[in-house]
Structure 1
Amino acid sequence: MAGQTSGGMMVEVRVAGVALDSGGQHVILLQPVDTPPGKSKLLPIWIGPLEATSIMVAIEGGNTPRPLTHDLIRTLLEALDVQVEQVEVTRIEDSTFYAEITVRSGADSGAGIHRIDARPSDAIAIASRTGAPMFVADEVLAEAGVEDVISDAEAEADVQEFSKFLDEVDPDDFRE
């Protein structure tokens, strides 16, 4: 779904997958929701391993022995009666992506709207936990998007590989 938000023209996206690049860095792949795989651009955003794990845990509906940071943020927002309305990847500058999380506090739908600056990985991890829609600015997709050459089978294989990782990971790896 394309639309206009306060940041300009935006395209609604979903997480198409989390992968490792040739150098072993984690990459989250965002794909427009109204376009079938192989027919659109993907937006690759390089993220850290902890953020990749957090996003995949949320997407897979996995559980961890203790709340991850993004679980804690979701719980705090719920306790304070704050809803995540949407997240947006708003711009790219010098190869750095910028995002915003739009939240609404309380029952008054207009008075409590706040836009919060965030890293895209954190915004996506929070949206993945709250069910909030995710958007990317048209200009960002045009500048940094790549042709979608990932098949459904490859995307499913990536998810299965990461699920296997989650099954085998030691919970002590996430303790501080």
Structure 2
Amino acid sequence: MRIVDLQEGTFYADLIFDRNIKVSARPSDSVAIALRVGVPIYVEEAVLAQAGLLIPDESDEEATTAVREDEVEKFKEFLDSVSPDDFKAT
């Protein structure tokens, strides 16, 4: 399974079978099939360059701390906006 293109926010994928037989398929279906049968999922470098995200290394303490502080702040804001009545069973 290979994600081969990204155009106007839409991903495109190919299922690749024996003897290099390629079948175009929706990426969501392709990923589901690949996971079910245990085959690798590949992505073209151009697609990664356009849509990929860099995930900070967990050993980078400064970046990890900044993310945690941001999550704590968001949770505090959530707690400020709710009351115990919001959680009562109906």
Pairwise TM-score range, normalised by the shorter structure:
0.5 to 0.7
* Runs of 5+ consecutive residues of structure 2 not aligned to the other structure: 59-90
Deviations 1:17-73 (A, max 9, x none): xxxxxxxxxxxxxxxxxxxxxxxxxxxxxxxxxxxxxxxxxxxxxxxxxxxxxxxxx
In the alignment of these two chains, the number of paired residues is 58
SS in 1 for 2:49: helix
Match of 2:7 in 1: 93
> In the alignment, which of 38, 44, 47 is matched to residue 140 of structure 1?
47
Larger radius of gyration: 2
SS in 2 for 1:132: coil
**Which runs of structure 1 show a deviation greater than 6 angstroms over 4 or more consecutive aligned residues?**
none
Equivalent runs, 1:72-111 vs 2, <5 Å: 87-104=1-18, 110=19
CA RMSD of aligned residues (A): 1.7
Give % identity: 36
Q: Which has the higher contact order (CA 8 A, sep 6+)?
A: 1
Q: What is the CA distance between 1:93 and its match in structure 2?
A: 0.4
TM-score (norm 1): 0.31
Residues 138 and 103 of structure 1: is their aligned pair in 2 closer, same or farther, counting only changes over 3 Å? same
Asked if 1:130 corresponds to 2:37, the answer is yes
What amino acid maps onto 2:52 in structure 1? G
What amino acid maps onto 1:121 in structure 2? S
Q: Which has the higher strand share?
A: 1
* Runs of 5+ consecutive residues of structure 1 not aligned to the other structure: 1-86, 105-109, 152-176
SS in 1 for 2:3: strand
How far apart, in 2, do the equivalents of 1:150 and 1:129 lie?
A: 29
Q: Which has the higher helix share?
A: 2
